[in-house]
Amino acid sequence: MNETRTTIYTPDSLLLHPYKMVVEMLSDLVAGRELAWRLTVRDLSAQYRQTFLGFLWAIILPLANTLVWIFLSRSGVVNVSDTVLPYPVYVFTGTMLWAVLMDALNAPLQTVTASKSMLAKINFPREALLVAGIYKTLINALIKVVLLMIALVAMGIYPDWGILLFPIGLFSLILVGTVIGLAITPIGLLYTDVGKAIPLLMQFLMYLTPVVFAMPKEGLPATIFQLNPLTPLILTSRDWLTGLSPEYLGYFVLVNAISLVLLLLFWIVFRLAMPILIERMGS
Amino acid sequence: MGETLIKVEGLSKKFCRSLKKSMWYGMQDVGSELLGRRHGDDGVLRPDEFWAVKDLSFEVKRGECLGLIGHNGAGKTTLLRILNGLIRPDQGRIEMHGKVGALIALGAGFNPILTGRENIYVNAAVLGMSKQCVDDKIDEIIDFAEIREFINAPVQTYSSGMSVRLGFAVAVILIEPDILFLDEVLAVGDIGFAIKCLNTVQKMTNKSAVVFVSHSMQQISWFCTRVMLMNHGTLVMDSQNPSECIDQYYGLVKHEQQVSGTGEAEVIDVKLLVNKRIVKNIEPTIPHGAELGFRIKLAISSNRHWTAMSVNIADQTMQQIVTMPVREADGELKRFPAGLLDVELSMGKVELTSGKYSITISILDTENNEVLTRAQGLSPFRVISEEVHWGKLVRHITPHKITVQTRK
């Protein structure tokens, strides 16, 4: 018989044995790899099998959003200050990148909520759900980026060597989105109004980030935009994509470094909270 | 009997009755966990909390099959969930050795849009099996589930029986646990499939430590070498003799009396006669093979002239096991007049399997088949039999003749 593993359950907090906890977290992450991939394939196959337009849906919303903003600015209804890039390009890239951020942000709570019945009855590495969410976001992001690059060339924007750094921008959007999503997951599982409030908040936040609006130059709006940690992510990614040189690189690196630390922290919170939440959230 | 695989000491778990308080306690518990505090408030109950499981201690060895019985809400499934690592204990200590598997939540991870074949891989991944493992056994799984013609069709086109068979097949073929949990489900599907399931599960139980939760006393008697009875979260009895524990369980079960019908007749009293003597105890135990009779006191309304009576014996699930229409010596239904009546009947030898039973008496109007009264749950009694029988009614038979053909 191969070596038997022993599992011990006590009421003691898992934090009392931090080394054991970290080892278990990493081994669960590895053990859940295959499950994460299976879940991703399952969800994407099921999602696109039922639709007529298939993967085109990945860009339809940002595209529609862009067209609305172009109309609003051209017709003078909304006064948008000048951007370095042609405005349609600015808006299109901005909304696509914001969509990637939103996908990553919504993924943790969505995948965990969708798997409630499984979580309540079967013991499996829960990290697999988070990784599945990240895989799904990545694949959807890849589709968006390919279409985005085709559209940019069509609009006359050619990339320079900065395009090689663009994947970093993409990963950083996914990283920060996942961190925020992971942070709201424990409370979002118990109190479902959190899940409903997030889209509203995020819509509001989009107007405080240089997605459809250009960076304001002075006054209170300028301060808000500059303090907003999402600003450097969007700006830097967009700059690398369109062949401009990024201006907020320092802030970009800082936000990513803090996010990596927060990722670890919120992962620990997730791990400790899940068994407690599972027993109370029903299936 | 092998090594100890499950060891539970002093296990307790509390739940909350109110939803809002439960969610708030959940947040509090997460907070205290993050501060490094011990889970469970050291045995104190917060407002609206109750003990779902209290002070449980036991061990299970490899090769042992432990049955868990008790009323709904006794804490059996909660115990399984704690052993499975899904819920944190509030007090106590649990030690589990080896791989854990369960035939609970069959078909987890299934998506109806995907085909049966694709779903096999998803379910297997949820159960922790590698793709290689599934590839090796995929044909065995499809054959066991008996859905080869439909395996490449989307699961949403399956009947519920087919989905359940598929889920069961994946679990039963792939998992090879050291510790196995069974929650009520031993077999699914039609009779042929169910027998296949029982045989396969039986083979699995030989190599592992099994905990089996069930309400079917027959399955418990058949499968289990040891039974634990739980009542409101506490362990009432832990015995190597399943019948003893089952009998104790019946002592805790209340039988409800129910009366229906037009009301023009009434069963006033029923007395049991064992071997022709009246039994005075509330819930007597009758040995298998004793003679059972009834003394029934009735009142039948004067509007109804010709009424017939039927006496049934029902088991604890209210399934009517034996029906005894009361007839004349020549075979016609016995007609009862109106008024206050005292009827004495004998059913002869009681050859029922061990269990808890009750009497149902129906009085019918023979002219238009109207039910004047139907009283069930009367005079509950228990039968004790030394042997375990699958059927409810047992008839011991001897062959007339046996011819031995010479062996070739």
Pick from A7, A50, A121: CB nearest B96: A7
Side-chain half-sphere exposure of A262, counting CA atoms within 13 A: 16
Q: B121 CB contacts (<8 Å, ≥6 apart)?
A: A38, B131, B134
Residue B91: its chain A contacts at CB < 8 A? 11
Q: Which chain B residues are closer than 8 Å to A272 by Cβ?
A: 30, 33-34
Angstroms from B23 CA to nearest CA on chain A: 6
Higher pLDDT, B385 or B158: B158
Query: Contact B34/A124, CB-based, under 8 Å?
Result: no
On the question of pLDDT at A220 being above 50, the answer is yes
Say what the ipTM of the complex is: 0.85
Highest mean pLDDT pick, A125-139, A148-162, A204-218: A125-139
> Which of A38-47, A57-66, A103-112, A245-254 is predicted least confidently?
A57-66
- For residues B68 and B56, what is the distance between their CA atoms, to the nearest angstrom? 12
Flag whether pLDDT at B63 surpasses 70: yes
Nearest residue of chain A to residue B207 (CA atoms): A1
Token pair 């868990």 is found at B68
Per the CB < 8 Å rule, is A9 touching B34?
no
Enumerate the residues of chain B whose CB falls inside 8 A of the CB of residue A122.
84, 86, 102, 104-105, 108, 126-127
The closest CB to that of A46, out of B84, B111, B125, belongs to B111
Chosen from B12, B33, B95, B104 to mutate, greatest number of chain A CBs within 10 A? B33
A121, B108: Cβ pair inside 8 Å?
yes
Count of A–B CB contacts within 8 Å? 146
Residues of chain A with C-beta less than 8 angstroms from the C-beta of B98: 4-5
Strand pairing class (B91-97; B4-16): antiparallel
The residues near B189 (Cβ < 8 Å, ≥ 6 apart) are B161, B164, B165, B168, B197
Q: What is the pLDDT of residues B177-201, one digit of tens each?
A: 999 999 888 878 888 888 888 888 8
Amino acid B51: pLDDT: 92
Chain B CA closest to residue A275: B87
- Name the residue among B236, B235, B224, B214 with its Cα closest to residue B72: B214
| Interface touch B121/A38, C-beta < 8 Å | yes
Percent of chain B past pLDDT 90, that is, above it, reads 40
Looking up tokens 């053990």 gives A31
The residue type of A124 is F
Contact yes or no for A280 and B91 at CB 8 A: no
Closest alpha carbon within chain A to B33? A13
As a whole number, the mean pLDDT across chain A is 86
What average pLDDT score do residues A217-226 get? 84
Residue among B132, B136, B138, B99 at smallest CA distance from B119: B138
Q: Between chains, do B93 and A35 touch, taking CB under 8 Å as contact?
A: no
- List CB contacts (< 8 A) between A11 and chain B: 38-40, 88-92
B15 interaction partners in chain A (CB closer than 8 Å): 279
Question: Which residues of A are less than 8 Å from B97 in CB distance?
Answer: 4-6
Which range, of A29-38, A139-148, B292-301, averages the lowest pLDDT?
A139-148
Residue A99, pLDDT above cutoff 50: yes
Chain B residues whose beta carbon lies within 8 Å of the beta carbon of residue A280: 16, 22-23, 25-26
- What is the dihedral angle through the alpha carbons of A103, A109, A115, A116, rounded to the nearest 10 degrees? -160
Nearest CA in chain A to B102: A122
Q: Is A118–B37 a contact, with Cβ atoms under 8 angstroms apart?
A: no
Segment A165-190 shows an average pLDDT of 92
- Please give the Cα distance from B122 to B191 (Å, whole number): 28
List the single residue in A with minimal CA-CA distance to B19: A280
Packing angle, helices A87-114 and A127-154, rounded to 10? 160
Contacts of B111 in chain A (CB under 8 A): 42-43, 46
- Is the per-residue pLDDT at A239 higher than 90? no
Say yes or no for a CB contact (<8 Å) between A280 and B25: yes
In this prediction, residues B210-230 reach a mean pLDDT of 89
| pLDDT grade for A2, boundaries at 50, 70 and 90 | very low
Q: Which residues of B touch A46 (CB under 8 A)?
A: 111, 113-114
Indicate yes or no: CB of B125 within 8 angstroms of CB of A34.
yes
Enter the DSSP assignment of A9.
E
Both structure tokens of B277: 């003597």
Taking only Cα atoms into account, the Rg of chain A, rounded to an integer number of angstroms, comes to 21
Assign 3-class secondary structure to chain B. CCCEEEEEEEEEEEEECCHHHHHHHHHHHHHHHHCCCCCCHHHCCCCCEEEEEEEEEEEEECCCEEEEEECCCCCHHHHHHHHCCCCCCCEEEEEEECCEEECCCCCCCCCCCCEHHHHHHHHHHHCCCCHHHHHHHHHHHHHHHCCHHHCCCEHHHCCHHHHHHHHHHHHHHHCCCCEEEEECCCCCCCHHHHHHHHHHHHHHHHHCEEEEECCCHHHHHHHCCEEEEEECCEEEEEECCHHHHHHHHHHHCCCCCEEECCCCEEEEEEEEEECCEECCCCCCEEECCCEEEEEEEEEECCCCCCEEEEEEEEECCCCEEEEEECECCCCCECCECCEEEEEEEEEEECCECCEEEEEEEEEEECCCCCEEEEEEEEEEEEEECCCCCCCCECCCCCCCCCCCCCCC
- Rounded Cα distance between B96 and B102, Å, is 14
Least confident stretch, A71-85, A103-117, B346-360: A71-85
Inter-chain residue contact A121 with B87, CB threshold 8 Å: no
Kindly report, residue by residue over A222-232, the tens digit of the pLDDT. 888 888 889 88
Compute the average pLDDT of residues B137-150. 93
Report how far apart, in Å, the C-alpha atoms of B110 and of each of A116, A262, B107, B117 are.
Answer: 13, 33, 6, 11
**How many Å apart are CA A15 and CA A26, to the nearest integer?**
15
Q: What is the pLDDT of residues B1-38, one digit of tens each?
A: 688 999 999 999 999 988 888 888 888 888 888 888 88
pLDDT: which is higher, A176 or A151: A176
The residue among B263, B279, B262 whose CA lies nearest residue B271 is: B279
Q: How large a percentage of chain A has pLDDT more than 90? A: 34
**pLDDT tier at B135 (50, 70, 90 boundaries)?**
very high
Q: What is the pLDDT of residues A50-81, one digit of tens each?
A: 888 776 776 787 778 777 877 777 777 766 66
CA distance B158 to B171: 18
Sequence letter at residue A14: L
CA nearest to B38 within chain A? A12
Residues 6+ apart with CB under 8 A from B347: B291, B292, B293, B294, B311, B322, B324
Q: What is the pLDDT of residue B402?
A: 87
Residue of B nearest to A17 (CA): B36
Q: Do A9 and B85 touch (CB under 8 A)?
A: yes
Find the mean pLDDT for residues A24-40.
91
Q: What is the mean pLDDT of residues B74-83?
A: 91
Tell me: pLDDT of A282 over 70: no
User: pLDDT by residue (tens digit) across B156-167?
Assistant: 999 988 999 999
Task: With cut-offs at 50, 70 and 90, classify the pLDDT of residue A106.
Answer: very high
**Tokens 């959230």 identify what position?**
A281
pLDDT of A3 = 57
**Which residues are B61's β-sheet partners?**
B4
| Class of residue A115 by CB neighbours under 10 A (exposed 0-12, middle 13-18, buried 19+) | buried
B307-342 pLDDT, tens digit each: 899 999 998 777 888 999 999 888 888 888 888 989
